């Protein structure tokens, strides 16, 4: 299926849960999808209750119009999520073992094949029963992805993200899993992606405000907001501030991951600095503890985190408004 997939354990939070969380009035795409539900039901099997709809029935279902295709597409995506949710702990181990050099960014590869290969590479970490469960799950996802690809090729509207929607963020105990306790951003000594030395004290101390954006290369929402982050960086420069990115794949200096990240940044026209440091440092452990992407922290001149992190793309109107409020607070802090 020609779309970015979330391939690491730290990104599982974006894969598991609902695919899209929409607010306000229903979009035309959502209305179309709902209208297609009955059309799909007539084609074979009710889709009103996803849990009671057998996967094989969905995979073998044939549709002949956009409305029905969109409804079927949504149900198949839900089935894929169900596979991951059912054994979340096991899948997290799989994604943590994923080869970062295998990031799938719009390359048309089948996500199921990627999972199967990753499972085999990490098979020593699992029992025979766990391997059986994972392999069966990956095979299901492979079949689902194949059907999704067919639907998207014939009905391009299926792969479109509805307007007025944002990637959902799962929560534990009512709080996003990426939330950290407020305090100082962990001190670090690292480099930017061009190899220039960077110290957190000099970085934060030299800016009235710093927006630290955590992302990774195969995260579609992350990549989609890079241009917006570059524009924000230019705006913050007028206030003495800056945006910096931290790509989780580039930590520990993975040369292939660095080259890929630089290529993606260049294609999106993002010229602001991206940093890396070792995962065995306090800052590295902080970065590896982030479970939802993209996530952005606002840091003031003293190195203190201002407010709660922005979890999800800043291109969303509410997210942008909240981010601006935190930025203004950080700038005000620098004047005290």
Same domain, 132 and 58: yes
CA distance 69 to 61: 10
Same domain, 94 and 158: yes
Same domain, 161 and 184: no
Same domain, 100 and 220: no
Cis bond leading into 294, ω under 30°? yes
Q: Which residue has the tokens 């074979």?
A: 44
Establish if 127 belongs to a structural domain.
yes
Write down the pLDDT at residue 107. Answer: 47
Low-confidence ranges of the chain (pLDDT < 70): 1-53, 96-109, 159-182, 291
Establish if 2 belongs to a structural domain.
no
Q: Which residue has the tokens 């927006």?
A: 211
Q: 257, 178, 166, 259: which is closest to 212 by C-alpha?
A: 178
Task: Produce one character per residue of 242-281: b if its CB has 16 or more CB atoms within 10 Å, e if not.
Answer: bbbbbbbbbbeebeebbebbbebbeebebebbbbbbeeeb
Write down the pLDDT at residue 220. Answer: 76
- How many CA atoms lie less than 13 Å away from 84 in the CB half-sphere? 29
Same domain, 241 and 108: no
Write down the pLDDT at residue 243. Answer: 98
Write down the pLDDT at residue 36. Answer: 46
168, 183, 200 - which closes a domain? 168
If one counts the domains in the chain, the total is 2
CA distance 39 to 210: 51
Task: Produce one character per residue of 116-128: b if its CB has 16 or more CB atoms within 10 Å, e if not.
Answer: bebbeebeeebee
CA distance 193 to 246: 10
Write down the pLDDT at residue 148. Answer: 87
Residue 192, strand partner residues: 275
Same domain, 45 and 102: yes
CA distance 334 to 205: 9
133, 168, 203 - which closes a domain? 168
Write down the pLDDT at residue 182. Answer: 57
CA distance 211 to 323: 9
CA distance 187 to 126: 36
Q: Tens digits of per-residue pLDDT, 114-163? A: 788 889 988 999 999 999 999 999 999 999 988 988 988 888 877 654 33
Enclosing domain of residue 194: 175-334
CATH of the domain at 182: 3.40.30.10
Establish if 194 belongs to a structural domain.
yes
Same domain, 141 and 192: no
Q: What is the pTM of this model?
A: 0.53
């Amino acid at each position: 299926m020609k779309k970015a997939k979330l391939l690491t354990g730290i990104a599982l939070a974006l894969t598991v849960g609902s695919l899209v969380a929409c607010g306000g009035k229903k979009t035309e795409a959502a209305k179309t999808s709902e209208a297609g539900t009955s059309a799909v039901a007539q084609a074979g099997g009710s889709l009103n209750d996803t849990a009671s709809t057998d996967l094989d029935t969905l995979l073998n279902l044939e549709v002949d119009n956009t409305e029905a295709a969109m409804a079927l597409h949504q149900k198949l995506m839900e089935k894929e999520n169900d596979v991951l949710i059912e054994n979340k702990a096991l899948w997290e181990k799989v994604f943590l073992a994923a080869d970062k050099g295998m990031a799938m960014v719009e390359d048309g590869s089948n996500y199921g094949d990627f999972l199967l290969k990753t499972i085999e590479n990490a098979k020593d970490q699992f029992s025979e029963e766990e391997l059986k469960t994972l392999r069966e799950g990956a095979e299901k996802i492979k079949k689902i992805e194949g059907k999704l690809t067919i639907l998207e090729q014939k009905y391009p509207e299926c792969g479109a993200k509805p307007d007025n929607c944002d990637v959902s963020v799962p929560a534990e105990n009512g709080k996003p899993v990426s939330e950290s306790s407020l305090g100082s951003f962990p001190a670090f000594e690292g480099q930017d992606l061009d190899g220039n030395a960077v110290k957190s004290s000099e970085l934060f101390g030299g800016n009235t405000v710093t927006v630290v954006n955590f992302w990774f290369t195969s995260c579609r929402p992350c990549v989609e907001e890079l241009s917006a982050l570059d524009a924000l960086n230019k705006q913050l420069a007028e206030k003495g501030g800056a945006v910096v990115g931290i790509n989780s794949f580039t930590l520990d200096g993975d040369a292939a991951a660095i080259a890929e990240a630089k290529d993606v940044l260049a294609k999106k026209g993002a010229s602001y600095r991206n940093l890396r440091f070792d995962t065995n440092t306090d800052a590295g452990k902080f970065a590896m503890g982030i479970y939802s992407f993209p996530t952005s922290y606002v840091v003031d001149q003293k190195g203190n985190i201002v407010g709660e992190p922005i979890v999800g793309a800043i291109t969303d109107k509410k997210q942008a408004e909240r981010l601006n409020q935190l930025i203004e607070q950080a700038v005000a802090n620098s004047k005290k």
